[in-house]
Structure 1
Amino acid sequence: MTRFTASLIAAAGAGLLALSMVAPAAAKSVDVALITGTDGSSYTGAEPVEHFEVGSFTDTFHLNLTGPSLVEVGLITIGASDDQFITFTKVLLNGVPVSIQTDLQGDGTRSSLGYLAQAGLSGAVTLTVEGYAGGSLPVGSGIGASYTGTFNVLTSAVPEPASAALLLAGLGAVGLVARRRRRV
């Protein structure tokens, strides 16, 4: 083996070592099950996602709509420590950015909420969530961090009074998840 070949192999090995120290990219694909509301034109669904290792992730939620619909998306994560917290870095609903707000509470608990309503969606709808699980803990460490994606769908593209009730029901479900998470 020549010195050049040995140097090339050593450099490749160092590159692989450096790559292995980067945050792992976990990916989850979630099909959202929608439950029909009492009026027959509204639907709701909530899907929790858990991450058990510190690092980057890209999760994808999938909905299939039969006709033009108003879709409301909400995301929530709450953590009292780094091993429970998710940082959302980029969230898109069919390519449209979802705004994310992260707050630090007086007790040290952090919460991140995201919300977007988009009218006129039909067919395949995709919510892509990119983020980081585990705060400042070492990459690859074991954790128990989670968040919930909540979806409210109205089959008509024009918002109706039932939309507000559906939104409140969805936000209520998110609130219950948040409350339960704080007790843990």
Structure 2
Amino acid sequence: MKTLAGPLYAAIIPGRKKNVQNKIVLITGAGSGLGRELAIKFAESGAITILWDKNETTVKQTAEMIEEIIDSNHHPIKQTAWFVVDVRDENQVAQAANKLRNQFGDVDILVNNAGIAPCEPFKNLTSETIREIFDVNIMAHFWTVKQFLPAMEKNNCGHIVAIASSAGIMASPYFTAYG
């Protein structure tokens, strides 16, 4: 039987948990789903959670959920903040990044989680829908990394997490543009 070695082993068998206490963690698409769950877990671990989403109602709800959990469990958290940001728009990302840096400092962990997955047959997809999928699921990663990587390099510290899907390697007739 072969054993796993090197990077593959590290990817499959997690090591010790990283201490995120007081680290600034930015999560895109934090208004619902996986983004919301990640935000809650980071906050419970003591991170300063910064929530970005294009939906003001849901991102505000995530922040309120975090505040309730933190208050009821007396978790040591410094702060949670939310911003309405459409990550498809490079200018909005740059403006929000500047506000974030001015208010909190450099981001320690960037979690590119925002994503959309319309479930339609290929022939039903409009050009606008295809562009939106690519702008949210691909281009937004470039806009956020462009904003936060330089400080991470300067500080010789930081993490960038890109949430992806197995749809990129497994075909599905209703996720053609997404995959």
Q: Common fold, TM-score beyond 0.5?
A: no
Larger of the two Rg values belongs to structure: 1
Query: What TM-score range do you get, normalising by the shorter chain?
Result: under 0.3
TM-score by length of 2: 0.26
Going by fraction, where is helix more abundant, 1 or 2? 2
Point out which structure has higher relative CO (alpha carbons under 8 A, 6+ apart).
1
Going by fraction, where is strand more abundant, 1 or 2? 1
